[in-house]
Amino acid sequence: MNLAIPAASTQQSAETAAAHESGRRFGLRDGIFQATTQGAGEQYLSAFALMLHATPFQLSLLSALPQLLGTWAQFVSVKVSHWFPHRKAYMLWGIIGQSIAWLPILVLPLLFPQWGPWLIVAGSALYFGSTHFTSPAWTSLITDLLSANERGAYFARRSRLMAITSFIALSFGGLLLSLFQEYGRLWVGFTLLFLVAGISRSLSALSLAKITDLPIQHEEPASRGFLAFLSTGASKDFRQLLLLSGLMHLAVLISGPFFVIYMLQDLHLSYWAYGTWAAALLSASL
């Protein structure tokens, strides 16, 4: 009888170690697939809208509205997390939503070009909403699968892999679009890129099926709210850093949506040059 307890404990430890290893591999694979989707899909949404004669106002909405709805999707995801049996199912539905969202983003604007930019905004809202919906569960699961001492090295490696993959996807995407532009079939190039983006997210769903979820080992402390944290839990230096970061993001977001107009319409850069420029921004992460 006494030997059964150590045996059961050893088996449980082995299962936990296997779950941790599968989760680490999934995190790296998911990062590569996500970076491919970002480089081949997300980075060219504004260029796709511009091909369909989007106005500056529509491009600004394309940049702002999906991200805003995505932020709210994170709040919703926390409230409905108890609907799912475990975090794995929670993440799976979000990733499936991301994969499916590329179909209306691509097909509907080509079928109804007069409403193309608005349809891209709507499809992007669905995509980014699904993306942010999975963020709390993904962060919680990966954190549980990593020890505190290895998280820094692990996420640094994951970020490096994502930067390299995004660099390649962006450069390849620009080259592909320039090639089809020469033949007057630019829409074919966007079709191929967005198909690659959707398939990449589908591959993330397949790799997710191979991992073993772990039960949550702790209860999250009750939130005091952001304003209460700023007034009582944040130092003066932290509040100043937060203000600096917010102002920098504000400056970037004010001008960011219009770079694609400036580069493709005013400077008449090729898609290859545009993709290379976007990829060069990632070189600092390599």
Whether 183 is covered by a domain: the verdict is yes
222 located within any domain: no
Average pLDDT over residues 113-142: 88
229 part of a folded domain? no
Q: Does residue 6 form part of some domain?
A: no
Q: Torsion angle of alpha carbons 101, 103, 108, 109, nearest 10°? A: 80
**Residue 6 CB neighbours (<10 A):** 9
- At 226, the pLDDT band (50, 70, 90 cuts) reads low
- For residue 173, is it within any domain? yes
Residue 230 lies in a domain: no
Structural domain of 29: 25-214+236-285
Q: Is residue 196 part of a domain?
A: yes
Whether 198 shows a pLDDT value over 70: the answer reads yes
Q: How many CB atoms lie within 10 A of CB 265?
A: 10
Q: What is the mean pLDDT of residues 263-285?
A: 82
Q: What is the CATH number of the domain that holds 58?
A: 1.20.1250.20
**pLDDT tens across 14-51, in order?**
555 555 666 677 778 888 999 999 999 999 999 999 99
**270 assigned to some structural domain:** yes
Task: Encode pLDDT of 49-75 as tens digits.
Answer: 999 999 999 998 998 888 888 888 888
The per-residue pLDDT for range 149-165, each reduced to its tens digit, is: 777 888 888 888 999 99
Count of domains observed in the chain: 1
